[in-house]
Amino acid sequence: MTNMDAYWMPFTANRQFKANPRILVSAKDMHFTSDDNRSILDGTAGLWCVNAGHARETIAEAVKQQVLNLDYAPAFQMGHPAAFELAERLVKLIPGNFDRVFFTNSGSESVETALKIAIAYHRVRGEGTRQRLIGRVRGYHGVGFGGISVGGIGPNRKFFGSLLTGVDHLPHTHNLDHNAFSRKQPEWGAHLADELEGIVALHDASNIAAVIVEPLAGSTGVLIPPKGYLERLRAICDKYGILLIFDEVITGFGRLGASFATEYFGVVPDIVTAAKGITNGTVPMGAVFVKEGIYDAFMNAPENAIELFHGYTYSGHPVACAAALATLDIYEEEKLFERADKMAGYWEDAVHSFKGVRHVIDVRNLGLVAGIELESIAGKPGKRAFDCFTKCYENGLLIRTTGDIIALSPPLIIEKEHIDRIVEILTGVLQGME
């Protein structure tokens, strides 16, 4: 194995990892293969992104053809056909009146883009005082300065200085006393959306640009919105002219058994961020959808003026567009979003069988997502779940953990026997752990 020193790994305990590495060398459909030639069942779709399963031939072929035909085209003041084709398909795919899409290269960039569009939108409409942003405790919106500012994860923020000014946070909705072992949306907690009223009262709506939330928070441990919560956020934003942004980097592209969470919950925000599943994780790409009227508001400048001073060298990269188009074909042809919806009932029953398993204090689920919360070891938060993660890996299953919560989010091509296997391995590991 190559010397590992030079690579500073992201969101990784580098020294611990390099002392005892976990190396994946190939992948196909539902499985990875490790460097010691073991088959590892993918319980997380990579990092919530490989929704159609690994190593899909049509995506590989589309990428190859695109590189040979047009490997790159400048993104500014120039265009290429695949970007326009993809944009049109995406705005047709997402329900609601989203009529434009801006391309980025990651979820983090989508978030930065969405926040900037929100603030600039108010300004071009003559409401330039609307600059404040509202996020949520335990929100994850990537790692840009905007994203960590509106995000609500202490360790992601505390090393990085003063962050954006003018940011407030709603409380999160997670509460085991009221909602432990809920199936799908919990009953309790919609009233927490009313905290937005208090923030508006403090700053006045004329100073507030946008509220950003994950409709279902994944990275901070699968926090499922209480019944009525998103509806209330929508109503309050409407009342005060505040833009509502859904960060759908995880929930987009079928994860909940619908195209996007906005479809699943029937609540339509003003801006939607996406990434991950857009290319099935093959080529980095992100997208920001804006509802009708937002793009138009920027179009009052002289026709030769650039309307939005924002973009990336690789916005709408031809290879990413080709991968995304091939990915959308698979989602459509294999009806993977509907498949996820059909499989969600079996998944729900399977994951709720963890109730009563050693160390488990909560199970929550929606679509093909599950969170299994473990009781923390006193004085060692996160250790129990991390030990569980390494043992599962040794036993042929990839899970993801955050704190002492296990998050499961398998590829949408999952079969019942894979679900049974996830339950079998994880139960065995948990029962055997101190």
Run of H or E residues at 324? helix 318-333
- Please tell me the distance from the alpha carbon of residue 63 to that of residue 321, in angstroms, as a whole number: 9
Nearer to ligand PLP, 245 or 397 (CB): 245
Distance, first Cα to last Cα, the chain? 33
CB of 218 to ligand PLP, least distance (A): 5
- Please tell me the distance from the alpha carbon of residue 379 to that of residue 13, in angstroms, as a whole number: 19
Nearer to ligand PLP, 219 or 282 (CB): 219
- Please tell me the distance from the alpha carbon of residue 359 to that of residue 263, in angstroms, as a whole number: 35
CB of 55 to ligand PLP, least distance (A): 20
- Please tell me the distance from the alpha carbon of residue 30 to that of residue 54, in angstroms, as a whole number: 7
DSSP state of 286: E
| Residue among 106, 378, 366 at smallest CA distance from 257 | 366
CB of 365 to ligand PLP, least distance (A): 17
- Please tell me the distance from the alpha carbon of residue 347 to that of residue 332, in angstroms, as a whole number: 22
Nearer to ligand PLP, 141 or 317 (CB): 141
CB of 306 to ligand PLP, least distance (A): 25
Q: Are 230 and 195 in contact (CB under 8 A)?
A: no
- Please tell me the distance from the alpha carbon of residue 72 to that of residue 80, in angstroms, as a whole number: 9
Q: Are 265 and 224 in contact (CB under 8 A)?
A: no
Run of H or E residues at 366? strand 360-366
Nearer to ligand PLP, 247 or 404 (CB): 247
Instruction: Give me Rg for the CA atoms of the chain.
Output: 21
Nearer to ligand PLP, 111 or 210 (CB): 111
CB of 151 to ligand PLP, least distance (A): 8
- Please tell me the distance from the alpha carbon of residue 10 to that of residue 261, in angstroms, as a whole number: 28
Q: Which two tokens stand for residue 240?
A: 């005060």
Nearer to ligand PLP, 111 or 170 (CB): 111
CB of 220 to ligand PLP, least distance (A): 9
Nearer to ligand PLP, 219 or 315 (CB): 219
CB of 140 to ligand PLP, least distance (A): 5
- Please tell me the distance from the alpha carbon of residue 44 to that of residue 407, in angstroms, as a whole number: 8
Q: Which residue has the tokens 């995304």?
A: 324
Nearer to ligand PLP, 108 or 182 (CB): 108
Run of H or E residues at 237? helix 229-240
Nearer to ligand PLP, 167 or 350 (CB): 167
- Please tell me the distance from the alpha carbon of residue 292 to that of residue 279, in angstroms, as a whole number: 25
Nearer to ligand PLP, 200 or 323 (CB): 323
CB of 282 to ligand PLP, least distance (A): 13
Calculate the dihedral angle through the C-alpha atoms of 401, 402, 405, 411, rounding to the nearest 10 degrees.
Answer: -50
CB of 276 to ligand PLP, least distance (A): 6
Q: Are 318 and 83 in contact (CB under 8 A)?
A: yes
Run of H or E residues at 424? helix 416-431
Nearer to ligand PLP, 382 or 396 (CB): 382
DSSP state of 224: P
CB of 190 to ligand PLP, least distance (A): 21
CB of 312 to ligand PLP, least distance (A): 12
Interaction site with ligand PLP (CB under 6 A): 106-108, 111, 140-142, 214, 218-219, 247, 249-250, 275
Of all residues in this chain, which one has the CB nearest to ligand PLP in the complex? 107
Give Cα separations from 28 to 52, 55, 400, 411, 420 (angstroms).
11, 5, 19, 11, 19
